[in-house]
Amino acid sequence: MTLITGLFYPVIITITGRVFFRDTAGGSIVKINGTATGSMLLGQDFHSERYFWSRPSATGYNPVPSGASNLGPASDTLRRLAESRRIRFKRLNLLPDSVAVPAELVFASGSGLDPDISPEAALLQVNRIVAARKLDENQKKEVLLLIKNLTEEPQFHLLGERRINVFLLNLSLDKIR
């Protein structure tokens, strides 16, 4: 059993991954001019006003100790943290109090490394990005089109929700200006 589970199975899975799922098994690393700039599979910290912001991370986007904060729904700490994130997001995106901030921008994911946000979360950030980059109305339309084109539907149109990979969205955004 030790040989099967400790040697043969890992070797078969590794070979299968490298042959049939080469990009994903390699971490989906994106290289620009030969330099690794990020992974499509891991959330990353984008804090500049010129970029779309990722979901918060309880681990500081560090993949080694990935995990959640373990704060439960009755936690005062979690409540205060969520409220401060909500207030900060509204203030920096110049949103009125009546606008609801999507949960993924207020709460960290279970792994702390979720690379996606909802299209609604992306749309709430457009005006901040347009202002920070000093984009004109036509370029703003390009940003909105990026969101539309990069939105992924639920897997098999059944599993999960509509989402956008923040890393890919920000790479595409840099091509506008």
Extract the tokens encoding 1.
């059993």
> Does residue 26 surpass a pLDDT of 80?
no
Terminal-to-terminal C-alpha distance of the chain: 57
* In a shared domain, residues 66 and 23: no
**HSE-up (13 A, CA, CB side) for residue 143:** 26
Element holding 36 (H helix, E strand)? strand 35-39
At 112 the pLDDT is 72
pLDDT 10s digits, 54-106: 999 888 777 777 777 778 888 899 999 999 999 999 999 999 999 999 999 99
Angle, CA 166 vertex, CA 138 and CA 135 arms, to 5°: 20
Q: What pLDDT was estimated at residue 153?
A: 94
| Neighbouring C-beta atoms of residue 28, cutoff 10 Å | 16
User: Both 32 and 67 in a single domain?
Assistant: no
SS (H, E, C) 49-118: CCCCCCCCCCCCCCCCCCCCCCCCCCCHHHHHHHHHHHHHHHHHCCCCCCCCCCHHHCCCCCCCCCCEEC
Residues 3 and 67 in one domain: no
Pairwise CA distance, residues 75 & 72, whole Å:
5
User: Are residues 33 and 64 both part of a single domain?
Assistant: no
The pLDDT tens digits for 113-152 are: 889 999 999 999 999 999 999 999 999 999 999 999 999 9
Domain match, 72 and 136 both: yes
The yes-or-no verdict on residue 8 having pLDDT over 70 is yes
Same domain, 45 and 99: yes
Residue 177: band (very low, low, confident or very high) from pLDDT cuts 50, 70, 90:
low
Same domain, 50 and 63: yes
The residue range of the domain holding 12 is 1-39
Same domain, 75 and 123: yes
Q: Let me know whether 145 and 93 are in one domain.
A: yes
Going by the DSSP 8-state scheme, the letter that residue 38 receives in this structure is E
Number of domains in the chain: 2
Residues 8, 76: one domain? no
pLDDT level of residue 18 (50, 70, 90 thresholds): confident
Asked if the model's pLDDT at residue 157 lies above 90, the reply is no
Gap between the Cα atoms of 97 and 91, Å rounded: 9
For the residues 145-169, what does the mean pLDDT come to?
93
pLDDT value at residue 100: 95
d(CA 160, CA 79): 26
Do residue 34 and residue 52 come from a single domain? no
Are residue 9 and residue 66 in the same domain, yes or no?
Answer: no
